[in-house]
Amino acid sequence: MPVLEIVDLKKRYRKIEALAGVTLTVKEGEIYGLLGQNGAGKTTLVKIMLGITRGWEGKAFLLGEPAGTPYVRARVGYLPEDHRFPDYHTGYSLLDFFGQLLGMSGAERKKRIPEMLEQVGIADRMDYKIRTYSKGMKQRLGIAQALMHTPDVIFLDEPTDGVDPVGRRDIRELLLQLKKRGTTIFLNSHLLGEVELICDRVAILRKGKMIREGDINSLTKQKGRFLIGLAPGQTMPMDEIRTLGYDINPREERWEVHLTDGQGIDPVIDLLRTRGLNLRHLVEKRQTLEDLFIETHDEDAGKRPKRPRREQTEEIMVVQPIDEDRKP
């Protein structure tokens, strides 16, 4: 049974259609990213799943129960985008308060709170007032409260907002550790580079409609474009490849081959082998998730993409061998 299942979900705020028939499924142990511009319907969807927003149409199930079922919430962690913690609390006292709301015993809270603050990297500030925390530290604290009760599902709305690069890396590693334990993570974020690094699948919303969904590799693959590299000193037989009907162009120390409909890359590889050339690199080119996001929105709006794609080169496959604040 899917952890999260939505079928034809609709929500309207008077004249505004926040969700216009969204359908998606999230599996257990998956990190699922929901992308979209401000007002696309991302937060509305999360609030419906948590029972915060009512008056919607369609079907929505969380952990096998209708969305908003009260007892299911005990198995869910949530970090809203614009959380506001009382700044008179310390990091420790805030988690102690949330632990009480969650029904955790005093002994359990005493053990769990230092562990959680250590996990998010602010254990040394647990006795400081939240008013002395930076935005990034508050974000780390928010993640800690969402994980306090070891939930089965976590909804994170912009979890790395305001966090420095080192902190973003730490949060990514934490989320990947949770995934290994079988925790399901539903993530909203504008930092598409972060999403690309950790999400198994993503969906793109625009004005309440899902316009693209899939796994990262499938969505970012640029079909029909290959980069080929030969051993040092060897020359690509470009004229012969063009005779086969392929478009090929040099790209620094490699060559880019463009395939048209019905073509495969195998004839090119066979030609190189018959010529005794050593194939060192072969990769189907990819675009970044950010470029896909912008291109998808431009195409959907009837606009021409405004900037060229940036290729990712890290996937080339080798075929051969904190400022200290005063304590209050």
The answer to whether 9 and 45 have CB atoms below 8 angstroms apart is yes
**Per-position pLDDT tens, the chain of length 328:** 799 999 999 999 988 899 999 999 999 999 999 988 888 889 899 999 999 999 999 999 999 999 989 899 889 999 988 788 999 999 999 999 999 998 999 999 999 999 999 999 999 999 999 999 988 899 999 999 999 999 999 999 888 877 888 888 888 898 999 999 999 999 988 778 778 888 999 998 888 998 888 888 777 765 677 889 999 999 999 999 999 988 888 888 899 888 877 788 899 999 999 999 999 988 877 667 777 777 666 655 555 444 444 444 434 343 343 444 444 4
Q: Per the domain annotation, does 315 fall within a domain? A: no
Domain count across the chain: 2
Helix (H) or strand (E) holding 147: helix 135-147
CATH of the domain at 142: 3.40.50.300
Structure tokens at 124: 């040394």
Q: Are residues 109 and 16 in the same domain?
A: yes
Q: The domain that contains 236 carries what CATH number? A: 3.30.70
**Domain around 253:** 218-300
pTM of the model: 0.73
Q: DSSP assignment of 216-279, as one string?
A: HHHHHEEEEEEEEEE-TT----HHHHHHTT-EEEEETTEEEEE--TT--SHHHHHHHHHTT--E
Does 236 share its domain with 194?
no
Q: Are the beta carbons of 53 and 9 closer than 8 angstroms? A: no
Q: Is residue 106 domain-shared with residue 35, that is, in the same domain?
A: yes
Is residue 32 included in any domain, yes or no?
A: yes
Domain boundary among the residues 139, 173, 207 is at 207
Domain boundary among 150, 175, 207: 207
Other C-beta atoms within 10 Å of 245: how many? 11
